[in-house]
Chain A
């Protein structure tokens, strides 16, 4: 069965393009436009992996990581963070909050795909 990915991004253009790319690589994709919607979708669909932006309205990526960490159903789901911020403290904060990886925007899909495969493999092994 193909892995199911929840994609959370507030910029519609990027959300649509990444969704199409992931689908062309045989992933089943569900989407959300902010952290709050993302958490609701995650509880409803229990995806195999989440890809989330940090700076979004309502609930941001850091708060989303906190919610996932505290939630019994969501705490095992790997979350990859994407962000334009490349400062060490931003990356450290995301990793300390349990992110499975951190991609700096702009990125090429090959790098994202590599991180997706690694995170899914790690999760299967644990």
Chain B
């Protein structure tokens, strides 16, 4: 009886997980249609010489909100994969810098200001053993937060190749995180008490922490309200530097 019950629960969980995955993917086509309609309107307004800064700004805001919604869907899909135990575990030796460069381009295209992600490197580059997709996700979430919660200077990612490990910091000079929120930051659905007016699911940092741990890394955060935040990640090298 118990085993039947367990098997039914497991099957229900799998079905629920599939429904979430399929629904989230199905949302992406209407999102693409809406983005394309915005592009179509912009193009037509330009051709007909009706475009002005007001229209341009409002149309850009629609696109920006669509991509926020899309990020939330991606977070839901990732958490769904984590909870159903189906996230990829294949690891390979890779240079972290190579994972970061496409992000530089990505954030140049999708931010509505002129800031560009800064990437600094010190020391002699060594490969780490990690899952490429998960690593991209870790940095995508941290960098996206750094842009979202700051407005002045561009976020900075610093890669420091130390003797035994790669130490990475992601720094912004944004709104910061109140001290009372810091211990709960990586819990699912937890959002900082000063982020109520900023869109988000509260899942991004849970995903970051899960993937850092899955790749044998460590993560820590230090922050001061209205000064900024620094996330520090440490990934040890395999036996020798490659």
Smallest Cβ distance from A15 to chain B, in angstroms? 9
Q: Knowing A106-B66, A109-B39 touch, does A14 contact B28 (C-beta < 8 A)?
A: no
Cβ of A111 and Cβ of B132 under 8 Å apart? no
Q: Mark A40-69, 1 if CB is under 8 A from B, else 0.
A: 000000000000000000000000000000
Cβ of B132 and Cβ of A11 under 8 Å apart? no
B contact residues vs A (CB 8 Å cutoff):
25-26, 28-37, 39-40, 43-44, 47, 63, 66-67, 70, 74, 88, 109, 132-133
A87 contacts B by Cβ under 8 Å: yes
With A88-B133, A106-B34, A107-B32 given, can you name 11 additional A-B contacts, CB distance below 8 Å?
Answer: A13-B30, A21-B39, A21-B40, A24-B43, A84-B28, A84-B29, A85-B25, A88-B132, A105-B29, A106-B35, A110-B109
- Contact among A13, A24, A84 for B25, CB-based, below 8 A: A84
A125 contacts B by Cβ under 8 Å: no
Question: Can you identify 15 A-B contacts, CB atoms within 8 angstroms?
Answer: A11-B29, A14-B29, A14-B33, A18-B36, A20-B40, A21-B39, A21-B40, A24-B44, A82-B32, A84-B29, A105-B28, A106-B32, A107-B32, A107-B35, A108-B35
Q: Which of A87-126 contact B (CB under 8 A)?
A: 87-88, 105-111
Chain A residue nearest to B131 in the complex (CB): A88
Smallest Cβ distance from B61 to chain A, in angstroms? 14
Cβ of A87 and Cβ of B133 under 8 Å apart? yes
Smallest Cβ distance from B118 to chain A, in angstroms? 23
Cβ of B33 and Cβ of A17 under 8 Å apart? yes
Complex CA gap A4/B43 in Å reads: 20
Complex CA gap A87/B30 in Å reads: 20
- Contact among B26, B32, B74 for A14, CB-based, below 8 A: B32
User: Which of A25, A84, A110: most chain B CB closer than 10 A?
Assistant: A84
Complex CA gap A21/B43 in Å reads: 8
Q: Which residues of B contact A106 (CB under 8 A)?
A: 28, 31-32, 34-35, 66-67, 70
Smallest Cβ distance from A34 to chain B, in angstroms? 15
Complex CA gap A88/B109 in Å reads: 22
Cβ of A17 and Cβ of B36 under 8 Å apart? yes
Cβ of B37 and Cβ of A17 under 8 Å apart? yes
Complex CA gap A85/B77 in Å reads: 11
Smallest Cβ distance from A79 to chain B, in angstroms? 18
Q: Mark A7-31, 1 if CB is under 8 A from B, else 0.
A: 0000101100110110011000000
